[in-house]
Amino acid sequence: MGILNVTPDSFSDGGRFLDTDVAVAHARALIDEGAEIIDVGGESTRPGAEPVSGEQELRRVLPVLEGIAALDWGGDDARTRAAPVPVISIDTSKAAVARAALAAGAALVNDVSALRADPDMVEVVAASGAQCCLMHMLGEPRTMQADPRYEDVVDEVKAFLEERLEFAVREGVAEERILLDPGIGFGKTGEHNLTLLRRLDELCALGRPLVVGTSRKSFLGRILAASSPKGDAAGEPQPVAPVQRLAGTIASNVLALERGASVFRVHDVAAVGGALAVAAATLGEWPARGKTQTS
> Does residue 79 register a pLDDT over 50?
no
User: Which residues contact residue 205 at a Cβ distance below 8 angstroms, ignoring those fewer than 6 apart?
Assistant: 158
Average pLDDT along the chain: 89
Which residues have a Cβ under 8 Å from the Cβ of 213 and sit 6 or more positions away? 181, 183, 184, 185, 264, 265, 266
Residue bearing the bigger pLDDT, 13 or 8: 8
Mean pLDDT of 10-26: 78
| Nearest partner of 261 among 156, 182, 164, judged by Cα | 182
164 is catalytic: no
Residue 292: per-residue pLDDT: 45
Q: Residue 234 pLDDT > 60, yes or no?
A: no
Least confident range of 36-40, 52-56, 130-134, 140-144: 140-144
**Of 275, 278, 267, whose CA–CA distance to 1 is shortest?**
267
Show the domains of the chain with their CATH numbers.
2-220+262-269 (3.20.20.20), 221-261+270-286 (no CATH)
pLDDT range class, residue 72, cuts 50, 70, 90: confident
When comparing pLDDT for 53 and 12, which is higher? 53
Compute CA distances 152 → 31, 115, 140, whole Å. 38, 23, 20
Q: What is the mean pLDDT of residues 69-79?
A: 67
**Which band of pLDDT confidence, cut at 50, 70 and 90, is reported for residue 173?**
very high
What mean pLDDT is predicted for residues 6-23?
A: 75
Catalytic, 188? Answer: no
Structure-derived torsion over alpha carbons of residues 221, 226, 232, 234, reported in degrees to the nearest 10: 120
Looking at residues 170-197, what average pLDDT do you find? Answer: 97
Catalytic residue among 60, 216, 245, 265: 265
Residue 252 has pLDDT above 90, yes or no: yes
What region, left, alpha or beta, does residue 245 occupy, with left being phi > 0 and alpha being psi -120 to 50 degrees?
A: alpha
Q: Which of 46, 177, 217, 245 is an active site residue?
A: 217
pLDDT number for residue 128: 98
Q: Are 102 and 109 in contact (CB under 8 A)?
A: yes
